A and B are shown apart, each in its own frame.
Chain A
């Protein structure tokens, strides 16, 4: 079977490896969407828990003034602790 000239064959080989790369990137994108959803739900739950804590104990909670992402930058001392 004759070998295709390098520039012709190169296109196919490149195509195959690019397909592989694209599939990986698509997968990452889908996982990113999932991660986004998890983050949204956790944010909702945190807000729910905070509001419940403030209404239950009448103790001043932190409120939603400070963005919770700064919690993740601190060491594991945020409300609820790590799993």
Chain B
């Protein structure tokens, strides 16, 4: 029962999001260097961290799927990756807006974290065409899990390599919210992180519930021997 607990979770998400927004705009002090622009980070960085953790979580679910053969793990893996890709779009767009505000360009190659994230995003974007090119559902699930594990291993390596590729002339431009921040900013950042992470979990649960409902409809259809609906365009992972 995936829908169970969805309501309290959503309420918690809304509350923490509202609290975080309040903190960002009414409590956190203005950054000395960047001024008001720095407020974008309370959105951009938590989104990035959540997306990356989400990818790794997708890899962990994939390992569980490979070891147990239970296709539910594959559905969890798929939805985790799917949600992280969507969050990834938000990361890249907000990152681009920040770049424009700080540097005057809509994209900069100087920021290693942003570039690393782009590469990770491009990799996970191939998850869909890869997955849907395999017709047999069981094999599709297995291969997708292998992909998720491989890609999960790739993430830290990628960040290392891109960081090293940074020319030593350009020091890191934006400070991660973890180094030497005044407590008020740290608190605001943590609140935002918790809010975004909760949002991710809520949306993943939401998506799984919808998938489960679809699965139950199919099951009902089979039990009733009812005629099948029109042809589906592709075999998506199911939760039954």
- State yes or no: do A and B touch (Cβ within 8 Å): yes
Q: List chain A positions with a Cβ less than 8 A from chain B.
A: 1, 3-4, 6, 9-10, 12-13, 15-17, 19-20, 23, 27, 31, 34-35, 38, 41-42, 44-45, 48-49, 52, 83
Q: Quick check: is B40 within 8 A (CB to CB) of the other chain?
A: yes
- Decide if A19 touches B97 in the complex (CB within 8 Å): yes
Q: List 10 A-B contacts (CB under 8 A).
A: A1-B33, A3-B34, A3-B36, A6-B35, A9-B35, A13-B101, A16-B40, A27-B86, A38-B217, A83-B1
Q: List chain B positions with a Cβ less than 8 A from chain A.
A: 1, 31, 33-37, 39-40, 43-44, 47, 86, 89-90, 93-94, 97-98, 100-102, 173, 203, 206-207, 210, 213-214, 216-217, 220-221, 224, 226, 229
CA of A3 to CA of B206, assembled, Å: 40
Given contacts A45-B226, A48-B224, contact A13 B210 (CB under 8 A): no
Given contacts A3-B34, A23-B89, A45-B226, contact A12 B217 (CB under 8 A): no
**Most A-side CB within 10 Å, residue of B33, B173, B210:** B210
- What residues on B are CB-neighbors of A9 within 8 Å? 35-37, 101
- Decide if B98 touches A52 in the complex (CB within 8 Å): no
Partner of A20, one of B33, B94, B226: B94
- Decide if A4 touches B101 in the complex (CB within 8 Å): yes
- Decide if A41 touches B35 in the complex (CB within 8 Å): no
Partner of A1, one of B43, B97, B102, B220: B102
CA of A15 to CA of B97, assembled, Å: 8
